[in-house]
Amino acid sequence: MIFPVLTCGWVSAAVSPTAGLTVWSKRPPTYILEYKLDQSPEAALEQIRQKKYYRAAWALGKPVVGVGVNFSSKTKNIEGWAAAEMAAE
């Protein structure tokens, strides 16, 4: 099940319980955001890779950038983030 979050002009965003937040753009690239709490941005990127959240965008021939974000429960803020192009397997 996918829950639309935002649609405006050239961007659509959707939340899926199994695929995090995906931001689809009519212009490449497509961004896939995965959030972690008290972990690391790299752990979020690894989840994107392991679960292959990027497959739908690749099927459309679009490049995909994964963005991992870590939130801190202590500071209630973003502790760090990392982005990586999801390369072909």
φ, ψ (nearest 5 deg) of residue 3 = -110, 115
Q: Specify which of 17-21, 38-42, 65-69 reaches the highest per-range mean pLDDT.
A: 38-42
Is the peptide bond between 41 and the residue preceding it cis, with omega within 30 degrees of 0? no
Q: Dump the DSSP string for 1-14.
A: --EEEEEETTEEEE
pLDDT at 7 over 80: no
Alpha carbon 89 to chain centroid, angstroms: 18
Quickly state the pLDDT bin for 2 (edges 50, 70, 90).
Answer: very low
Pairing mode, strands 30-37 and 64-72: parallel
DSSP H or E run through 22: strand 20-25
